[in-house]
Chains A and B, each alone.
Chain A
Amino acid sequence: MNSPKFRFASLSVVKHAYLNVAMAAHPRFDPVVVADDADQPDWVHERNQEFADEYNIPYVRDVERAIADYDVQVAVVNSEAERHCDLSVRAADAGLHVVQDKPMSNRVSECDRVVEAVERNNVKFLLWNRNRLPALIQAKRVVESGKIGEPYAVHADFYFAKDAGPRKDANQPKKPPINWLERQKEAHADGSDGGVGVDPMGELKIEGIYPLAYIRMLTGANVRQVFARTTAHFHQACVDNDIEDLATVTLEMDKGILGTLCIGRIGAASHPDIGEIKIHVLGSEGALVISEARPEISVYYRGQSAAEYPHQRIADDNNFQLPEDFARAIDTDGDTMLNARAGRAICATVQAAIDSGRSGTAVAVP
């Protein structure tokens, strides 16, 4: 018997559309409509329309009507971060299962709304992540095998070797501050607009979900307390908007597990490919060092463009595995690999780290 297909509505597609594309490519999910609120600005409507045109599906400027009219079972939320949770709550209240892009939210209180709505409506929620990259699957397998004993410390490095507008330069004459949203809209062209929204977001909010989800998967532990250092080290947009592009976080977790996170948008010159992304796990019987980039191949040739990464990741089917996991959760009434409560816990850890960076003291994770 063929497994049933799920029809999904894309609720806002303003960022690079990797999440919607991945869902549409999976055989269990069909895109049927793009929807957003009518009062959104023109640029939002334009991007929504572009995606709808690309998939030859309608764009409806009314979320509730689209959900009602198109017989959808799933919502895929890919709006600006500050609207993520509201769209997810509305979808859950309409009885839809929800796949949501990261970050879960700018505010922990918004995450709490999602947790409540998802559980009250008994629908599935998946926060998009990278936990099914081949190296992460391998790391999980090694940890679960018991070969390194009980993990007691986990360290994640998550550097994106990308630029983000003009470099920070304290010696330049003072210019008008860079508008965050306008900068993110520009970044759409090269797909580095993960921080799109009105509210400025530092690297912890934009990308922190990924390494923190790795650590959570490998330890099964919640973070209880953090101490963090944060700074705007590279980019003028981060200086102007008082957010960090470089951070280190000490993590104190359940079961006495310790850890750290190094994260930064370190500039294109600082790595030969997308960035250094590694996980170090210390266990009672051994240790594990994993490069998230593996497997990769290297291609070098005369006349190679500086914009082309000479090291290319291969065999990455994370974008297939996540929808696969989501479908399984719906089929079996099981849990997703990163549900609303886990997403909320990560959002709270990020917020505590930002607070710690500002106060210079350790902060308990609420």
Chain B
Amino acid sequence: MSAPAAGRYVGQSVHRKEDPRLLTGHGRYIDDVVLPRLLHAAFVRSDLPSAVIRSIDTRAALELEGVVAVLTGADLNPGAGTLQPSMMAENPDAIVPPLKPLADGDVRFVGDPVAVVIAESRAIAEDAVELVDVDYEPREAVASMEAAIADGAPVVHPELGSNVAMDIALPENPELEAAFASAAHVVTERLVQHRHTPVPMETRGIVASYDRVTDQLEVWLSTQGPHEARRAFSRVAGIPERHVHVRMGDVGGGFGQKFFTPREEQTIVCVAKHLGASVKWIEDRRENLLASNHARSDIATVSVALDAEGHILGMKFDHLEEAGAWPVGGTGGTGPFAAMLLPGPYKVPKVWWRSRVVWTNTCGRGAYRGPWMFESVAREEIMDFAARASGIDPLELRRRNVVADDAQPFTTATGMTFDRVTPATTLEQAARVLGYDDFRAQQASARAEGRLLGLGIGLYIEPTSTPAATLGVEAATVRVESGGGVTVFLGTAAHGQSIETTMAQVVAEHLGVDYDDVKVVQGDTDRTPFGGGTGGSRTAVIAGNATREAALKVRDMVVEVAAHMLEAAPEDLEVAEGRIAVRGTPVRNVSLADVAAAVHNAGTGLPSDTPRLLEATGRYETPSPTWSNACHICTVEVHPVTGQVEILRYVVSEDCGRMLNPMVVEGQVHGGVVQGIGGVLYEHFVYDESGNPLTTTFLDYLLPTAAESPRIEIDHVVTDGPNPSGVKGMGEGGAIGSVPAVFNAVADALAQVGATVTEQPLTPVRLVEALEAVGA
């Protein structure tokens, strides 16, 4: 599969437009926004996991000089609209807990916002938070899924009556049962992925300014989706959508945490309306770790049946996922989607699954880079258990079951139809780059010296740009300005993905102008077309194809005008680097600025039906998810005494179709992989049995640094995506494949001495215990 030729701009690793301002301290993030008479907010948060609020005494706080207001649920909750995102707000069947701006008579996790102090400075607001006296009557809490589903467990949401938010199962399948009964090998494990959290380097934040006379709300927001935020603010505050203006500047990462519009941001909008004032809230790191939506926390009993040659006969997946108390968006659950993706790149004739979502008195679940990715954890980990049980090498077992590149479209037993994916090719490419057989020999000789080396594979197919409601469509407007420069208006919301760069490349390529002459405008609801925001690996596919179409339309308009100016037929003209010339007679040419001048000035002799505005909107609606795929292979050494894990090599072979900018693609892979490594080895948000959080600083919640991170080797397979640009989404993939790859590598190292792990994180303590359990 040879790579298609790159264009003049598309496919090139051009320098990023974002970099100079960000490198010199001239970015503009949310805390850099200052308004006249700006007030500052700080939240009073529950320090109990479950309790009834007897009373809230705000008198002492109100007496502090500089405090403007102390507001509670009694002030803000009555009249507040739904806080759910549009997908839930517009779905009458959505399962949603009774979320309000502030606690409504009780608290349901440590961090639940009870009151908000508004003061002249953040420091004074924080001082006043200490003076608010909340009298609680503690209740018993449930802090884990097992505790929540036990008989007689306290109920997190009394209004809903049960801690099981959702319970969906396929009917029992007699053919699957028969396949399991006749299988040569049946492997069943209880696999656990622990709770962690996205941790963008910039915490959340908002500046909201409300004018009572005009009923106008101006918002600056750290977000992944300003248009969705505008809808949310309109609903919660009862302000017409057209009177809500949301804009974003630079955003310091999101990873899903800023995709929907969280509770505190909506509460601050209610505060601004209540006071008729301008209010800023900048989340601090403790709040971010404590109360910004968490992620993962899944348990599944996974079974696979193999015939004697190692062919998969069927899989079972009994999945529990933790919603916490107030997940962002309904239950926050992704179980059925994970279950449908479970077969992944393998031929699995039959699948049974059950998916339950469980409420607990903990921080709510939300999106994090590949929210459904537990399917890859469950599948790839059980594949390695199956390899050990059957005595078939894990690479060989995958070879025997992987869907061939030329056997597509391929429809899984769960009804997913894949096309133009290359799991078999990436599996072989990654194994070749790593030097699979050489490593196995090295592993054996190291073992003879008492050392524990291991290798893990993570093979997956990733749904990108999935068409769910507003996420399946995007529009882009391209305009040639009066001086010949080009501006692109997008509904996207970059927070590290280099969209100013890649979309400018697309415009430069298809309109025929210089990359330096293109500017991208996004993140402003009054200036840009409606868009679903940046997340779900959707921007390159959906916004990218809309941008391409808009650029081509504007090119046609430019050519039409230039044809009159040059007295040539439009089909004889070519556009390159901002000049329109007669093909074969390059001296006959006009510039884009000349064309713009002809369009915008009277008396230029253009026929009356010629465009007088060089602007067009393109759109793209994706009919189905765009599938991309990759194989990750990781090798590790586990220290047998300390349990420390060192990553030796890390190889990725990936197919995201045509790359708009290979440098950007590889950067996304690097970052995703290290997030996955962090998740397996270091990051763990811990609650004690009573529901008290134990990891609310970076001293306790450990992130990978450069010293722990490996050099990542990336190779590409390029198969055109099913859209005019030939692209596929890829932003989440790095964080998907890396988790099973690292887990399997450590498990492989341990298996040499008979030790077993089934739960993440793979901390030194857990590994030492696993080794000691088998006397190693």
Pairing of A with B? no
B contact set with A: CB distance below 8 Å: none
A contact set with B: CB distance below 8 Å: none
